[in-house]
Amino acid sequence: MYSRSLQPPEEKSFFLFGPRGTGKTVWVRERFAESVYLDLLDSELYTEFLASPARLDRRIPPDYRGWVVLDEIQKVPAILDEVHRLIERRRLRFALTGSSARRLGRKGVNLLAGRALTLRMHPLTSRELGSDFRLRHSLRYGQLPAVYTEKDPKGFLQSYVKTYLREEVLQEGLTRNLGAFSRFLEAASFSQASVLNVSAVARDCHVERKVVEDYFSILEDLLLAVRIPVFTRKARRRMAAHPKFYFFDAGVFRAIRPRGPLDSPEEIDGAAVETLLLEEIRAWNDTLDLGYSLHYWRTAAGLEVDLVLYGERGLRAFEVKRSSRLRSEDFKSLVAFRADFPMAKCTMVYGGTRAYHEGAIRVLPLEDCLRELPELLQD
C-alpha cells in the first residue's frame, strides 16, 4: 500500500471523510493497528448498534485507554451521541471514518461540537505514488489506489461506479428512480470542468430541474463531485454567475462519460487534465491545512482562468492547457486576471516539457507542476 501524507492528530478524536475507495479503511488500520476496530459495514454490528447505540460501550474493554476506530460512521449516525458520551466520561479517543460529512449534518446528528477534528482523504497524489506515478495512466484511470494496484483498472472503475449506484444511492434511499439518476450521471459528465447549466442537464436526461438539483446535491453529499464557484472578490468586470462542475477523480469521470463517434479525444482529455490538477490541489490544500478557498474566474466577455485559490497565503491562479505548445493568445486570460489582481501568482500548466516564464507568468509542464505542487502552494 502507498504511504499517505495525511497525518492523524496525536491526542484528539477526529473524523476522516472521503469518497469510497480513497483508502480510508486501509489508512486507519495501518495507523491504529492496536486499536479497537469496529466496521459498521459489518451487518451484525450494524444491526446491533442500529437497535441500541449504547451497546458501543460494551464493545470497549473497561480499562481500555487506546484509540477506537468506527469505520463508515454514516451508517449509524445516532451512535455519535454515544461517542460524545465516551469521550467525556472515559476520555477515549475516536477515529471516525465516513463518506459524507454533509449527510450527517443534514440529519441533524451530533458532530461532537468541536471535540473532534475533521480530516479529508482524497485520491493519491503523484508524490504519494512516487516512482509508480505515470502521467498517462493517471489521466486515463485517475488516482484511486486500486487503479494502480488492480490488473484491470478500467474494469475496477466500471464496477466502482455501479457499486456506488447500488450501495450508496439505492440502499440509502437517496433516490427511488435509479434509471433517471443513471441518465443524470451521464448527462452531468458532459459538464466536467465546464460552467454548469443545471437546466441544460435536466433537458438532456429528461428530468425536472428541481430533481436534477437534488441529484447534484447527492453527488456532493457522497463527495463524488464538487462545484467550484466564481471568484468575485473586488471584481472589476461583470462576472459569470454559474459554478464549474467536477467529478472528484479523472478516472471516475471517464468511467461515467459515454463515448461516441462524434466525441473528440481532445475534449475529454482536456477535462481530464484539469480534473487531475484540481484533485491534487484539493488533496494538498486539505492535507497541509493551507486554508485556500477554490474558485474559477470567468468574465461575461468569456475570459476564463481555470482555478483560482484565495486565502491568507495569498492569491494564486492556474490556467491549464492540454497542448504541448503555447501561443501568445493562450495567456490572454491570465494576463487579464493579473491586470485586475497584480498581487496574484499566476501559473500556466501545459502538456509540453519545458519550464519557463512568460513575463510574470510561470509556465510549467503538467508533470513538473504536480511534483512541485506542495511547495508551489506554500511559496
More confident site: 326 or 266: 326
Considering the chain, what percentage of its residues have pLDDT values greater than 70? 92
Per-residue pLDDT of 189-212, as tens digits, reads 999 999 999 999 999 999 999 999
The CA angle 352-358-359, to the nearest 5 degrees, is: 170
The pTM score is 0.92
Q: Sign of dihedral through CA atoms 147, 151, 156, 158?
A: positive
Give residue 319's identity as a one-letter amino acid code. Answer: E
Q: Given a cut of 80, is residue 213 above it in pLDDT?
A: yes
For the beta carbon of residue 284, count every other beta carbon within 10 angstroms.
23
Report how far residue 170's alpha carbon sits from residue 164's, in angstroms, rounded to the nearest whole number: 9
Is residue 219 a contact partner of residue 196, using CB atoms and an 8 Å limit?
no
Instruction: Determine contact, residues 267/259, Cβ cutoff 8 Å.
Output: no
**For residue 265, pLDDT beyond 80:** no
Condensed to tens digits (0 to 9), the pLDDT of residues 34-60 reads 999 999 989 999 999 999 999 999 999
Instruction: Write a three-state SS string for the chain.
Output: CCCCCCCCCCCCEEEEECCCCCCHHHHHHHHCCCCEEEECCCHHHHHHHHHCHHHHHHHCCCCCCCEEEEECHHHCCCHHHHHHHHHHHHCCEEEEEECCHHHHHHCCCCCHHHCEEEEECCCCCHHHHHHHCCHHHHHHHCCCHHHHCCCCHHHHHHHHHHHHHHHHHHCCCCCCCHHHHHHHHHHHHCCECEECCHHHHHHHHCCCHHHHHHHHHHHHHCCCEEEECECCCCCCCCECCCCEEEECCHHHHHHHCCCCCCCCHHHHHHHHHHHHHHHHHHHHHHHCCCCCEEEEEEECCCCEEEEEEEECCEEEEEEECCCCCCCHHHHHHHHHHHHHCCCCEEEEEECCCCCEEECCEEEEEHHHHHHHHHHHHHC
Percent of the chain scoring above 90 in pLDDT: 72
* Options 3.10.20.30, 3.40.50.300, 3.30.365.10, 3.90.1170.40; CATH of 13-120: 3.40.50.300
Look at residue 221 in the predicted model and tell me its pLDDT: 86
Banded model confidence at residue 108, pLDDT cuts 50, 70, 90: very low
Is the pLDDT score of 1 beyond 80? no
- Cα separation, 366 vs 368, in Å, equals 5
**In sequence order, which residues have a C-beta less than 8 Å from that of residue 283 and are 6 or more positions away?**
122, 123, 125
Domain boundaries, the chain: 13-120, 126-378
Per-residue pLDDT, averaged over 68-86, amounts to: 91
**Per-residue pLDDT tens over the stretch 7-22:** 999 889 999 999 999 9
> Is residue 302's pLDDT more than 50?
yes
Burial class (CB in 10 A: 0-12, 13-18, 19+), 303: middle
Distance in angstroms (rounded) separating the CA atoms of residues 147 and 251: 9
Vertex 268 angle, CA 262 and 273, to 5°:
165
pLDDT at 296: 96
**Max alpha carbon distance in the chain (Å)?**
69
Handedness of CA 112, 117, 123, 129 (dihedral sign): negative
Model confidence over 330-350: pLDDT tens digits? 999 999 999 999 999 999 999
> Is 123 within 8 Å of 24 (Cβ atoms)?
no
pLDDT of residue 301: 86
Q: What is the pLDDT of residue 259?
A: 76
Of the pLDDT bands very low, low, confident and very high (cuts 50, 70, 90), residue 238 is confident
Q: Report residue 367's pLDDT band, with 50, 70 and 90 as the boundaries.
A: very high
Looking at residue 367, its amino acid is: E
Mode of pairing for the β-strands spanning 194-195 and 244-247: antiparallel
Instruction: Give the CA distances from residue 88 to residues 85, 229, 285, in Å, rounded to whole numbers and listed in that order.
Output: 5, 39, 31
Q: Decide if pLDDT at 110 tops 60.
A: no
CA–CA distance, 288 with 190 (Å, rounded to integer): 32
